A and B are shown apart, each in its own frame.
Chain A
Amino acid sequence: SQTIHQWPATLVQPVGSPLSLECTVEGTSNPNLYWYRQAAGRGLQLLFYSVGIGQISSEVPQNLSASRPQDRQFILSSKKLLLSDSGFYLCAWSTGGGETQYFGPGTRLLVL
């Protein structure tokens, strides 16, 4: 069966510091991968998606970037965090031709 992992679970970072959140998927090959953010009291906003290694599409202009160095690894990064980057970050995967996405446990980021 497929599983999706995210770490860390919680992160507190100062403004201006770098960020690296990691997501890995097991039990499937060539998945589509997604990064979402849920700000406090709001819905899920798609940040990035990837249909293959090195292929990243950005949905909204922002202070973040994403990379996919391996088939089942998706990384969310920032060189300098802003206060507005605080939120709950979710990674999700779907099969290449599928439309149902399955989510990881999430990372809660607090930028102070």
Chain B
Amino acid sequence: DQQVKQNSPSLSVQEGRISILNCDYTNSMFDYFLWYKKYPAEGPTFLISISSIKDKNEDGRFTVFLNKSAKHLSLHIVPSQPGDSAVYFCAASGDAGGTSYGKLTFGQGTILTVHP
């Protein structure tokens, strides 16, 4: 049962344009959402997060939007840069059926390629 889904395996964007990465979840108990960036053969790097009490969080070029009614979140990168090319994972946390102890459930990842 895939509780967090990233339905687009890849995304290609021109440098300077907006990148929009999408993520859907099914468990309504999730209350905290995160985005990670991962380069090959490295550990994921935390980018930005959002609590379920908010619908938007912004940090520099990165903005995360949360639509609780649709169980959907998205990451916007503006403007996109070639160095943003990586795999992006969304993750969710919450009392998913028990004491979560901060456990994260990850999506499958989206490969972002930003062309110069």
Residues of chain A touching chain B, judged by Cβ–Cβ distance below 8 Å, are 6, 32, 34, 42-46, 49, 51, 57, 59, 88, 90, 92, 94, 98-106, 108
Contact = CB atoms under 8 A, between A and B. Distances in A.
B101 A49 contact: yes
A46 B103 contact: yes
B103 A90 contact: no
A24 to B, nearest CB: 14
Nearest to A9: B41
How big is the B interface, by class? Answer: 20 to 34
A102 B42 CA distance: 12
Interface of B: 32, 34, 36, 41-46, 49, 89, 93, 101-109
Contacts of A44: 44, 89, 106
B102 A103 contact: no
A100 B49 contact: yes
B106 A43 contact: yes
7 A-B pairs closest in CB distance:
A103-B43, A43-B108, A44-B106, A99-B93, A99-B32, A99-B102, A43-B106
